[in-house]
Each structure stands twice: as structure tokens, then as C-alpha cells.
């Protein structure tokens, strides 16, 4: 099974877990789509797109993940990746790295994608 497929299935499992913890719990993809559209400020995803999140065949965009994480009161990192074995020790960060993180948090998701593409290109 490709890693991306596994990541999508695991995302779906975490999403459903967080939805089950709501009061009242969200137990269907249709209800997820309805509740999400009430909270998302952009164009709401189609019910088919939300069904793909539910089934683990696709993942939402970063912006939609942020909305989900805020609504579900879970860390976005956990929602996207789950618990990871390696935890970043912030005491190891340089002043420049701390400054970079501050700038990162201040920019929009669209600009983050551009920056990630640039960094990826610079690594080549």
C-alpha cells in the first residue's frame, strides 16, 4: 500500500475519532460536511470531497485542516500526522530558527506553499 494511501486512511481514523468526541458526536460524512460548512470561511467543500476525507481517500487542504483542528479542538499536527515519535526540542533552536518560525506563523497558507516550494528547490 502506498504511503500516501496509508496517510489518508490514518487521517480519516483520527478525524472520525475527534468527531466522535464532540457533544453531540458527528457520525456521518453528510453531517461532517454540514457542520464544517458552517465554520469554514471560504467556499465550502462539496459533500463528495468531504466523503473522501471520511473514507480516507483524500485529505483536506491546509486551510481546511486548520478549520477542522480549531473546530475539533485538536492540534493540527496530530490531525494531519498523528503522534510522531520524534518531538522537536525547542531548546535546540537557534535564534534565527525561532525568528523563522515566527515569520512562518504570520504568513498565509498560500504563501507557505510558495515558501516550501522555494526551500525544496534550494535543497536540490
The mean of the pLDDT values for the chain is 87
Task: Please report which confidence band the pLDDT of residue 37 belongs to, taking 50, 70 and 90 as the band edges.
Answer: very high
- The boundaries of the domain holding residue 110 are 90-122
**Per-residue pLDDT, 10:** 93
How many structural domains comprise the chain? 2
Same domain as 20, residue 52? yes
What are 108-123's pLDDT values in tens digits?
888 888 888 888 788 7
Same domain as 58, residue 76? yes
**Per-residue pLDDT, 59:** 93
Between CA 18 and CA 50 the distance in angstroms is 15
Residues 6+ apart with CB under 8 A from 64: 36, 40, 45
CB atoms within 10 A of CB 49: 16
Residue pair 104/62 in contact by the 8 Å Cβ criterion: no
pTM value? 0.66
Same domain as 14, residue 54? yes
Between CA 65 and CA 113 the distance in angstroms is 14
Same domain as 7, residue 25? yes
Amino acid at each position: 500500500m502506498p504511503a500516501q494511501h496509508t496517510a489518508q486512511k490514518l487521517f480519516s481514523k483520527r478525524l472520525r475519532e475527534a468527531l466522535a468526541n464532540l457533544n453531540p458526536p458527528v457520525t456521518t460524512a453528510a453531517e461532517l460536511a454540514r457542520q464544517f460548512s458552517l465554520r469554514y470561511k471560504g467556499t465550502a467543500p462539496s459533500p463528495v470531497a468531504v466523503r473522501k476525507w471520511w473514507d480516507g481517500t483524500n485529505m483536506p487542504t491546509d486551510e481546511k485542516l486548520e478549520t477542522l483542528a480549531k473546530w475539533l479542538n485538536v492540534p493540527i499536527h496530530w490531525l494531519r500526522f498523528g503522534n510522531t515519535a520524534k518531538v522537536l526540542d525547542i531548546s535546540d533552536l537557534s535564534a534565527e530558527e525561532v525568528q523563522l518560525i515566527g515569520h512562518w506563523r504570520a504568513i498565509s497558507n498560500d504563501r507557505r506553499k510558495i515558501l516550501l516550494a522555494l526551500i525544496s528547490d534550494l535543497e536540490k
